[in-house]
């Protein structure tokens, strides 16, 4: 971490976030006396994507300063129809040798056509190219769980609601497999 002559700013440099070498961000430095007066705010829909990206980048920067890092890369793959409309897609990221499947979506009327399988194969291949040794995800959809189990995923954790919690009996499965 580097402090600038203007003590209001701190630079964090780290390797691997984008897969293209060093990336730096400049964070404002706030004196401890002003911390109590800072407000928590809910980001607007217009700002949430950039705020989320900034927070994730800042976190990865501070982790990189403390821990040995592997390549941290975001992956977005899509399938588009003849009109260039997205009908299926997957978002993922890599960290510490693991590929995390964040979202896999196939348009309702295209499910069962093999698009999900094709996307999973493509993102797993990309993960292997980036040096990943395993893949993990979470899902709360029993049909998706069956889809992943058919692809060799095993459950390594589960969060469950009781019948008295809302939504009643909801489950989220955490799944993994080797690449």
Tell me: the pLDDT tens digits for 64-81?
778 776 678 899 999 999
Walk me through the domains of the chain, giving residue ranges and CATH numbers: 2-66 (no CATH), 74-178 (3.40.630.30)
22-28/2-3 β-pairing: unpaired
β-strand partners of 101: 92, 137
Query: Peptide bond preceding 67: is omega within 30 degrees of 0, i.e. cis?
Result: no
pLDDT given for residue 18 in this prediction? 42
Neighbours of 52 (CB within 10 A): 11
Beta bridge partner(s), residue 160: 171
**Half-sphere exposure of 99 toward its Cβ, with a 13 Å CA cutoff?**
26
Measured CA to CA, the distance from residue 149 to residue 36 in angstroms comes to 48
Burial label, 69 (beta-carbon count in 10 A; 0-12, 13-18, 19+): middle
β-strand 134-139 against 154-160: which pairing, if any? unpaired
pLDDT value, residue 40: 83
pLDDT band at 14 (very low <50, low <70, confident <90, very high): very low
| Cα(113)–Cα(101) distance, integer angstroms | 20
114-153 pLDDT tens trace: 999 999 999 999 999 999 999 999 999 999 999 999 999 9
Averaged confidence pLDDT in the chain: 84
88: helix, strand or coil: strand
User: Which pLDDT value is given to residue 31?
Assistant: 63
pTM equals 0.73
pLDDT at 135: 98
pLDDT at residue 29 in the model: 60
Q: Is 155 exposed, middle or buried (0-12, 13-18, 19+ CB in 10 A)?
A: middle
> Beta strand pairing status for 171-178 and 134-139?
antiparallel
């Amino acid at each position: 971490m580097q402090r600038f002559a203007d003590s209001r700013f701190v630079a964090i440099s780290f390797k691997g976030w984008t897969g293209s070498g060093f990336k730096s961000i400049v964070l404002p430095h706030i004196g401890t006396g002003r911390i109590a007066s800072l407000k928590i705010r809910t980001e607007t829909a217009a700002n949430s994507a950039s705020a989320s990206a900034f927070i994730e980048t800042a976190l990865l920067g501070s982790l990189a300063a403390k821990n040995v890092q592997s390549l941290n890369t975001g992956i977005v793959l899509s399938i588009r129809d003849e009109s260039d409309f997205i009908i299926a897609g997957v978002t993922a990221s890599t960290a510490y040798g693991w590929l995390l499947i964040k979202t896999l979506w196939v348009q309702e009327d295209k499910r069962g056509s093999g698009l999900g399988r094709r996307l999973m194969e493509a993102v797993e291949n990309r993960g292997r190219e980036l040096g990943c040794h395993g893949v993990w995800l979470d899902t709360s959809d029993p049909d998706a769980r069956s889809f992943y189990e058919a692809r060799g995923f095993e459950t390594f954790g589960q969060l469950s609601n009781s019948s008295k919690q809302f939504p009643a009996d909801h489950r989220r499965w955490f799944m993994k497999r080797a690449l």
